[in-house]
Structures are given as structure tokens and as C-alpha cells.
Amino acid sequence: MIANYGYTDGSGEYYISINTSFCAECQTHPCISACPQGVFEMITDDYDEPACSVKDSFRKKLNYTCSTCKPARKSSESPLFLPCVQACVNRAIKHTW
Amino acid sequence: MILDFPQLISQWETLPVHVFTAHEKGEILTIGAGTASGAVSGAIQGTASGAVTEHWKWPEQSNVDLSMDWKKAARITAGIDVGSVSSQAVVLLDGKLYAWSSVRTGSSSPDSALKALNQALKNTDLTLEKIPYVVGTGYGRVNVPFAKKTITEIACHARGANYMGGGTIRTILDMGGQDCKAIHCDEKGKVTNFLMNDKCAAGTGRGMEVLADLLRIPIQEIGPLSLKVEEEPPPVSSVCVVFAKTEAIGLLKSGWPVEKVLASYCLAMAERVTALLNRIGVEKDFFITGGIAKNIGVVKRIERILGISALNSALDSQIAGALGAALFANALLEKEERGKS
Ligand code: SF4
Ligand code: SF4
């Protein structure tokens, strides 16, 4: 399943997309410890599969939360530079902005 | 001469006398404006008890299939969807729809859940105690005390839509009371991709209720009225429900007829939700759930923008979440029974 967490507001679209079909096979969930803000958590989804998810408390403020990581990405011009994206070897995490 | 509220707003500044009347409890009964001779008057009419008509209030509904006998059913399950604006209950007998209701959510989620279930069962002698498996869903799902399990509204809407519209449905748009969801599912109604926007009430049922109250038009009439324009106006520019309300007042004051303001608002709502849908892509067949699916003015505009028609269902679009929850309950109870045998 592809889960998109985030929002659209007057300033843009801020979604983190997670392809959770990789998460069941992932043993160590490195995305969780890689995020300095603690955005991610492991949940059991509605179909009883383990899945990485964006915590409820962050879903409406992602632009603000991720702002500390984003300048680094801009300077490198590579989305892989984001700690969460880099940590997931399956490339299951994507940002829309 | 009695004016309706939009007419009054548009003429407000040209009329020299403004009148407010109140009954003894201090509640406003009438707001009026007119000439010194009183030639023009009236606007919001209250009742004798002081209550002002609430145009946003949609009718609560329920239905039971009396051709079915719950006493003959091997499995009785229920789904309860407690949303921010409305709550629904659906009861299934062996996986088939038996009874449902759609009521307004009150200040307490547990009370709203019970009210919805009681409303669904009101013309039967089936009681909660005889329903072995209940699944709760929706915004208030964790507060359904008699639910054995909670499941997100995303999974429940997909499953409910699959039952209502069939296995060919691949894209679902749920326009709820305070959020909007775009969902892709497979032939079994299992979610494959989803996106939800609950940050802002624009493009949701609550936004439409605010408009109904502002224009003093029963909420069910907004969609048909919005289609009575000869030419489609530009959409209201504000995406925020508060600013859209201010903009609507400004348009009325500038002389726009009510139909044109409604068309502009419905179009803005349609553009907003289609942008959400386009983020995950739209695959046929397409289905709309939630209260706004009943607003033909928004639905027709969504269809026009996307270039495809939404599938119709004989069932009420608002019960999709509760129906999906009841279907999950049916499958879970079956699994439990298999585990025991
Ligand atoms: S690292 Fe990637 S695959 Fe592993 S849990 Fe996180 S998102 Fe899922
Ligand atoms: S960009 Fe940074 S703060 Fe945002 S989710 Fe990724 S690691 Fe966490």
C-alpha cells in the first residue's frame, strides 16, 4: 500500500509517501531512528501488516517539522540526502516537496 | 415586502433603517432593514420559541429490510462510523445489509455511536447485546465503547464502496464532514494507495453547512440550485472556509444572484478535491462516498473536471464507512469462528 501523509495549504503540497509493502520484510526499520524529529513509527495496518507510518501529531505540520533537513537537500540537489529517504534501502519513502 | 437573507445583505447598505427584534430570552427573532415608512422588512425569521431555523441541518435517516429475519442469521455484525459531523450504523446479517442509519454527531462520541445503532434498529427487536462483533471507524472510532476492534475510515470506505459499487471500482473519493480522502483499491476493496487532507474544512461537508447557514438555504437544495446558472462563474478564490464565507457575502453584495454564488462555491470545492485526487491519479471505475456525494452541484463539476462519471449506487453514499466496518466485522467474526472449530 502507498500511504500519503500530509496536506495541501496555501503555500504548497507537503506529503510524505511511504510504500508500506516493503516494511513487512524490513527487520530493523532504520527510518525511525534516522529521523531527528521522530516523525515515523511502526504500526500494524488495517490488514494486519507491519507498516511504517507518519505519527498523527506530525501530519499537519510536515513543512515546519522537516524544515531543518530540507536546506541540506537543496544544497546537495538530491532527495536522497534527507535522512529518512537515505535510511530506507528499499527507497520506500518519498517527499513531494 | 419580505426579503430572503441574500437579498437583504445585497440591499443592506442602501436601506436607512436596520431593525433587530428579540424575544424575552434575548435571542434574535428577526433581522430586518427598510425604508423609514417600513416598505421593506424581514429576513431571518425565528420561531415563537426564539429558535432560528438551522438551514445546515440535513435530515437524519434510517432503514431496515423487513424481508430479512435476524433470528435466522448465522452471523450478525455491525459497523459504526463516528464522524465529526455525522455518525452512521450498519447492521449485516450473514454479510448482507439489514439495517442502517445516519444521524448527527453530538458532543459525545460514545452517545453518538449508540444513538446511530439504536436508530438503525428502531423498527426491529434486535438489540446490541445480540450483535457479537462490532467494528468502529471514523474520527471518533476509539470512543465506540461496544466495538471489538477499530479500523481506519480509509480501509472501511474502500470496502464499503466495493460492496456498494462492485469490484470494478478502483478510485474512491470520500468527502466527509471535515476531511477529504482519495483512495485506490483493488477488486476486493483492499486499499492500495491513499491520501487524506484533514487540515482544512474547505472542500468538506462542514464548509457546505457553513454556506447553507450563511445563505439561509436548506443544505439539500444547494446542489440543484448551483446548476441553475446559464454560464459557469469563476470559483471563489479562497480555499479557507472562513475567507470563502466572507467572499460569498461580498459577491452577494456586489449583486451576484444566489445561484451564481453557489455555483462558484461548488466549483471551488470540486477543483479542490480533484487536485487531491490527481495527486494519486484517477483510475476507472470511480465512486464517491460521504455526505457531499449527495450534492449534485459538486458531483457534476467533479465529473466534468475529471472527464469521467462516478458510478451510482442505490444505497446512501454516507453509509459507506459504516458498511465497510460491518463487512470487516463479518470477516473477523467468521475468522474467529473458524479458529474455534
Ligand atoms: S526503512 Fe523503509 S522499508 Fe523499513 S520500515 Fe522504514 S520505510 Fe519501511
Ligand atoms: S526530512 Fe528530516 S525531519 Fe522530515 S521526516 Fe525526513 S528525516 Fe524526519
Residue B51: band (very low, low, confident or very high) from pLDDT cuts 50, 70, 90: low
Name B295's Cβ contacts closer than 8 Å, sequence gap at least 6.
B208, B222, B223, B266
Residues B160, B89: one domain?
yes
Q: All 3 cell numbers of residue B96?
A: 448482507
Is this structure's pTM higher than 0.80? yes
Please count the CA atoms within 13 angstroms of the CA of A15 that sit on its side-chain side. 19
A23 CB near ligand 1 (under 6 Å): yes
A29 CB near ligand 1 (under 6 Å): yes
> Higher model confidence: residue B265 or residue A75?
B265
Average pLDDT over residues B175-200: 87
Would residue B247 count as lying in a domain? yes
- Return the residue in B186, B193, B197 with the most chain A beta carbons within 10 A, the one to mutate for interface testing: B197
Shortest CB distance from A46 goes to which of B151, B240, B280? Answer: B151
Average pLDDT over residues B74-103: 95
> Higher model confidence: residue B88 or residue B44?
B88
Average pLDDT over residues B26-37: 46
- Among A15, A37, A54, A76, the mutation site with the greatest number of ligand 2 atoms within 8 A of its Cβ is A37
Nearest C-alpha neighbor of B32 from the set B23, B16, B43, B45: B43
> Higher model confidence: residue B215 or residue B152?
B152
Whole-number pLDDT of residue B237: 75
pLDDT tens for residues B212-258?
A: 888 888 888 999 999 999 999 998 876 566 677 788 888 888 999 99
Residues B280, B328: one domain?
no
Integer CA distances (angstroms), A85 to A32, A90, A93, B278, in order: 11, 9, 5, 24
Using an 8 Å CB-CB cutoff, list chain B residues near A59: 198
Average pLDDT over residues B172-177: 86
Cα separation of B22 and B32, whole Å?
12
Residue B155: band (very low, low, confident or very high) from pLDDT cuts 50, 70, 90: very high
Distance A36 CA to ligand 2 centre (A): 7
Within 10 Å of residue B176's Cβ, how many Cβ atoms?
27
Please count the CA atoms within 13 angstroms of the CA of B126 that sit on its side-chain side. 30
Work out the minimum CA distance from B18 to partner chain A, whole angstroms. Answer: 38
Distance A31 CA to ligand 2 centre (A): 9
Cα separation of B128 and B48, whole Å?
39
Would residue B25 count as lying in a domain? no
- Return the residue in B135, B142, B196, B240 with the most chain A beta carbons within 10 A, the one to mutate for interface testing: B196
pLDDT tens for residues B258-275?
A: 999 999 989 988 988 898
- Average pLDDT value for chain B: 83
Looking at the structure of chain B, the number of domains it has is 2
Integer CA distances (angstroms), B251 to A80, B188, B216, B230, B265, in order: 48, 46, 16, 17, 11
Cα separation of A89 and A37, whole Å?
20
pLDDT tens for residues A26-44?
A: 999 999 999 999 999 999 9
Residue B283 pLDDT exceeds 50: yes
Residue B30: band (very low, low, confident or very high) from pLDDT cuts 50, 70, 90: very low
Distance B277 CA to ligand 2 centre (A): 25
Q: Do A13 and B279 touch (CB under 8 A)?
A: yes
Residues B329, B254: one domain?
no
**Closest ligand to residue A41's CA:** 1
Q: Do B155 and A9 touch (CB under 8 A)?
A: no
Within 10 Å of residue B35's Cβ, how many Cβ atoms?
12
Q: What is the CATH number of the domain that holds B107?
A: 3.30.420.40
Average pLDDT over residues A69-75: 67
Residues B161, B256: one domain?
no
CB of B107 closer than 8 Å to CB of B139: no
Residues B334, B286: one domain?
no
Residue A87 pLDDT exceeds 80: yes
Distance B330 CA to ligand 2 centre (A): 39
Average pLDDT over residues B70-82: 96
Looking at the structure of chain A, the number of domains it has is 1
Residues B159, B207: one domain?
no
Would residue B189 count as lying in a domain? no
A22 CB near ligand 1 (under 6 Å): yes
Q: List the beta bridge partners of residue B61.
A: B102
Residue B16: band (very low, low, confident or very high) from pLDDT cuts 50, 70, 90: low
Phi, psi values for residue B128, rounded to 5°: -55, -40
Nearest C-alpha neighbor of B101 from the set B129, B124, B122, B131: B122
Report which ligand 1 atom has the smallest distance to the Cα of A26. 4
CB of B230 closer than 8 Å to CB of B168: no
> Higher model confidence: residue B133 or residue B245?
B133
Any A CB within 8 A of B151 CB: yes
Q: How many whole angstroms from its chain centre is CA B289?
A: 9
Residues B211, B231: one domain?
yes
Residue A89 pLDDT exceeds 90: yes
- Among A26, A35, A39, A91, the mutation site with the greatest number of ligand 1 atoms within 8 A of its Cβ is A26
Residue A22: band (very low, low, confident or very high) from pLDDT cuts 50, 70, 90: very high
Shortest CB distance from B199 goes to which of A1, A9, A46? Answer: A9
A79 CB near ligand 1 (under 6 Å): no
Whole-number pLDDT of residue A29: 96
Cis bond upstream, residue B285 (ω within 30): yes
- Give the domain extent around A82: 2-95
Residue B52: band (very low, low, confident or very high) from pLDDT cuts 50, 70, 90: low
Torsion of CA B101, B105, B106, B112, to 10 degrees: 50
Only one residue has cell 535510511, namely A87
Residue B15: band (very low, low, confident or very high) from pLDDT cuts 50, 70, 90: low
Shortest CB distance from A46 goes to which of B152, B198, B279? Answer: B152
How large is the ipTM? 0.90
- Give the domain extent around B262: 195-306
pLDDT tens for residues B99-112?
A: 999 999 888 888 99
Nearest C-alpha neighbor of B238 from the set B207, B260, B280: B207
Whole-number pLDDT of residue B128: 95
Nearest C-alpha neighbor of B140 from the set B174, B178, B173: B178
Integer CA distances (angstroms), B312 to B227, B270, B285, in order: 19, 18, 11
pLDDT tens for residues B294-321?
A: 899 999 999 999 999 999 899 998 999 9
Whole-number pLDDT of residue B325: 97
Residues B283, B325: one domain?
no
Q: Do B275 and A8 touch (CB under 8 A)?
A: yes
Residue B35 pLDDT exceeds 70: no
Handedness of CA B109, B157, B318, A60 (dihedral sign): positive
Average pLDDT over residues A16-35: 96
Distance A96 CA to ligand 2 centre (A): 12
Residue A14 pLDDT exceeds 60: yes
- Return the residue in B178, B195, B278 with the most chain A beta carbons within 10 A, the one to mutate for interface testing: B195
